[in-house]
C-alpha cells in the first residue's frame, strides 16, 4: 500500500514543483521523497505521514507570493494547476466521493460542502462522471491522478492517502483546496439546513433535548431534524482544526 501512496505523492509533488517552474523538477522530486524517507527514520513516522508532511510544506511554499509569482509567468494556457487555484468562496468545490471516501464526505458536508456519493456508478467511471457533472473527485485511488483528464487540468481531484486518519485526510483536503468552514450541511445527504422555529418542530424534538436546546434545523434534502448537541460539540473543534491545517 505504501508503494501506491508514494506513487500518488510523487505525481502530486512533481506537478506542484513543475508549476513553480523549478529548474530541476525530477531532481527536486527525488530530493523531497528522500527527505520524507529521512523523516521516517528521524521521527519514526510511517512513510505516508512523512510524505504528507513534505507535500504539505511544499504546498505552503508554492502558495506563498514568491512561488505563485513564478508560476504566474507561465502563459495562461489550459493545463494542470494547483487545486486551491480552482475554487474560491464564491465558487466552492462540490465533491463526488468514491466509496473509499464516503466517511470523509460526511465530514466535508459538516464543513459546509456538497459531497455526493453514488454507489451505482462503477469505480472506473467516477472520473468521467465527476467531470460531466462539474464535481471534484474525492478519492484514495492514486491511479486516478494519472488519468489524462486530471493531468490536463480538466478534472479537479482531491486525493487523500488511505493510510491517514479521517481527520488527517480532512486537513489535507481542506489545505489542498484552501477551504474555509461554511454553514454546516446535512451530514447524511448533504442538503442545506434550514432554521426552524422550535414550536413548529416541537413534536419531533426528544423531550429531554427540548429542555435545553432552542435552535433547530431541518434538512432541505431528507427532512431530518437537527440541533447542535453533544455530537456537534465533538465535530466542531475537529472541523476548526482541519481548517487550520492541524
Q: Is 174 exposed, middle or buried (0-12, 13-18, 19+ CB in 10 A)?
A: buried
Cβ 38 to Zn ion shortest distance, Å:
46
Cβ 199 to Zn ion shortest distance, Å:
22
Residue from the set 111, 170, 177, 219 that interacts with Zn ion by CB under 5 A: 219
Distance CA 44, CA 27 (A): 25
Distance CA 164, CA 51 (A): 11
- Output 93 or 184, the one with its CB closest to Zn ion: 184
Cβ 224 to Zn ion shortest distance, Å:
5
Q: Which residues pair with 159 in a beta bridge?
A: 139
Give the footprint of Zn ion on residues 186-215 (CB under 5 A). Answer: 186, 188-189, 191
DSSP 49-81: HHHHHHHHHHHHHHHSHHHHHHHHTS---SS--
Residue from the set 200, 222, 240, 246 that interacts with Zn ion by CB under 5 A: 222
Cβ 222 to Zn ion shortest distance, Å:
3
Q: Count Cβ atoms below 10 Å from residue 163 Cβ, excluding itself.
A: 18
- Output 68 or 205, the one with its CB closest to Zn ion: 205
Tell me which residue has cell 478534472: 155
- Output 132 or 222, the one with its CB closest to Zn ion: 222
Contact residues for Zn ion (CB under 5 A)? Answer: 186, 188-189, 191, 219, 221-222
Amino acid at each position: 500500500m505504501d508503494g501506491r501512496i508514494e506513487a500518488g505523492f510523487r505525481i502530486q509533488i512533481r506537478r506542484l514543483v513543475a508549476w513553480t517552474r523549478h529548474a530541476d523538477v525530477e531532481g527536486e522530486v527525488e530530493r523531497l521523497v528522500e527527505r520524507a524517507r529521512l523523516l521516517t527514520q528521524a521521527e519514526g513516522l510511517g512513510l505516508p505521514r512523512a510524505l504528507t508532511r513534505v507535500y504539505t510544506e511544499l504546498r505552503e511554499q508554492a502558495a506563498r507570493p514568491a512561488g505563485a509569482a513564478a508560476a504566474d509567468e507561465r502563459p495562461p494556457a489550459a493545463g494542470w494547476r494547483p487545486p486551491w487555484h480552482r475554487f474560491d468562496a464564491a465558487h466552492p468545490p462540490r465533491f463526488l466521493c468514491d466509496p473509499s471516501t464516503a466517511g470523509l464526505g460526511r465530514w466535508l458536508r459538516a464543513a459546509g460542502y456538497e459531497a455526493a456519493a453514488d454507489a451505482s456508478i462503477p469505480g472506473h467511471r467516477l472520473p468521467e462522471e465527476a467531470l460531466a457533472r462539474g464535481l471534484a473527485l474525492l478519492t484514495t485511488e492514486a491511479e486516478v491522478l494519472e488519468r489524462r483528464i486530471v493531468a490536463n487540468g480538466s478534472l479537479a481531484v482531491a486525493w487523500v492517502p488511505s493510510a491517514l486518519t479521517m481527520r488527517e485526510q480532512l486537513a489535507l483536503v481542506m489545505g489542498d483546496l484552501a477551504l474555509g468552514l461554511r454553514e454546516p450541511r446535512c451530514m447524511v445527504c448533504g442538503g442545506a439546513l434550514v432554521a426552524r422555529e422550535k414550536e413548529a418542530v416541537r413534536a419531533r424534538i426528544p423531550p429531554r433535548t427540548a429542555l435545553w436546546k432552542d435552535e433547530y434545523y431541518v434538512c432541505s434534502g431528507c427532512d431530518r431534524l437537527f440541533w447542535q448537541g453533544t455530537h456537534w460539540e465533538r465535530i466542531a473543534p475537529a472541523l476548526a482544526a482541519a481548517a487550520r491545517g492541524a
